[in-house]
Amino acid sequence: MNDRTMKAVLFDRFGGPEVLYVGRVPRPEPAPGEVLVRVRALSVNGGEMAFRAGRTRLLTGRKFPQRMGQDFTGEVVALGTGTTGVAVGDRVWGVAGRLPGFGSAAEYLTVPPQRLGRVPDDLDLVAAAALPATATTAVTALRDKAALRPGERLLVRGAAGGVGSAAVQLGRAYGAQVTALARAANLDFVRTLGAHHAIDHRTVTPAELGPFDVIVDTAGTDLRTFRRLLKPGGRMVALAFDMTRPIASLGSLAASAVHGPGRVHFFSGDPVRAHFDDLARHVTEGKLEPVVDTVFPLEETAAAHRALEAGGVRGKYVVRVD
């Protein structure tokens, strides 16, 4: 096989998981100031479902084939001219970048060194892939956006998923009283993550939940309803929008931010080295562990997408790149 090419997950049209396939593309070479990473694993993220289905085509365009994969773990195998702060052989994790920067579902990837961090020595690279995108988002949401304080009441909506499972662990570590909303089958699971209260979201109405100081929402629906649960001075961090109604949902988020300054925060994670340094420190201090539901080989990325769309994930679906 030509060693100037590599395997990558591609799709030639928008659609369901069945459009994904593993093909061969040119192997990248690091430009000046870039790093070449041999990818070992990546996770499957919710935003990629909308990307693959074409719901974000105004951002990604219609030129095919398009690539898949957002975050990654791996080893540095080559440095571009003038690259500093990282060395060949380093075990790293990172995020490929904002849309249309997908492409980590491949054997190799080039990224700027500021988008990388070093993985703790005792953390397996496949398990570690559950953390780069989701856990840096959870840290930013709780610590930087919401300024969560010890003793405050925290509600995590979608607590069993990737960001949610990290937010539950971190909320407990930060000293909050954590209430987790999840499916009935996942209630014991979120308790093991540190939730003080675990509630089946289908058996209660929001009004029954009581007031909260901080709400972390990973569902993206009914945001106005949940916003009413905030105490005076409370903060809501919205980390998702309704993928079935992207324009209306984004409009609702924008309106909430305008009419509730200081109370509703929405952001799209774009982590850099400082975020990954924070992530490694949280892992090393025992505040955070990767939560992996299932590991799929690269050739079964479509199956991982089907599983995520079916719902019920505990933590993250991870794709291993052999």
Buried b (16+ CB within 10 A) or exposed e, 86-103: beeebbbbbbbbeeebbb
Residue whose structure tokens are 């291993």: 320
Two structure tokens written together for 51:
């990307």
Can you give the three-state secondary structure of 160-175, one letter per residue?
CCHHHHHHHHHHHHCC
* pLDDT tens figures, 74-84: 999 999 999 99
* pLDDT tens figures, 14-59: 999 999 999 999 999 999 999 999 999 999 998 888 889 888 777 6
- Please state the φ and ψ torsions of residue 127, each to the nearest 5 degrees: -65, -40
Q: Does domain 133-266 have CATH number 3.40.640.10?
A: no
If you write DSSP's letter for every residue of 206-249 in order, what string do you get? GGGS--EEEEEESS-SSHHHHHTTEEEEEEEEE----TTSHHHH
Calculate the average pLDDT of the chain.
89
* pLDDT tens figures, 151-187: 999 999 999 999 999 999 999 999 999 999 999 999 9
Out of 3.40.190.10, 3.90.180.10, 3.40.50.300, 3.40.50.170, the CATH code matching 5-130+291-320 is: 3.90.180.10
CA angle, 265 then 113 then 103, to 5° = 70
What are the angstrom distances between the C-alpha of 175 and each of 3, 58, 150, 237, 311? 51, 42, 4, 18, 29
Q: In terms of DSSP H, where are the helices of the chain? A: 46-53, 57-60, 125-128, 132-139, 162-173, 187-193, 223-227, 246-259, 273-284, 301-310
Domain ranges within the chain, ordered by starting residue: 5-130+291-320, 133-266
* Span 185-210, average pLDDT: 92
pLDDT value of residue 207: 83
* pLDDT tens figures, 95-106: 986 544 468 999
Two structure tokens written together for 43:
């996770």
pTM metric for this prediction: 0.89
pLDDT value of residue 196: 97
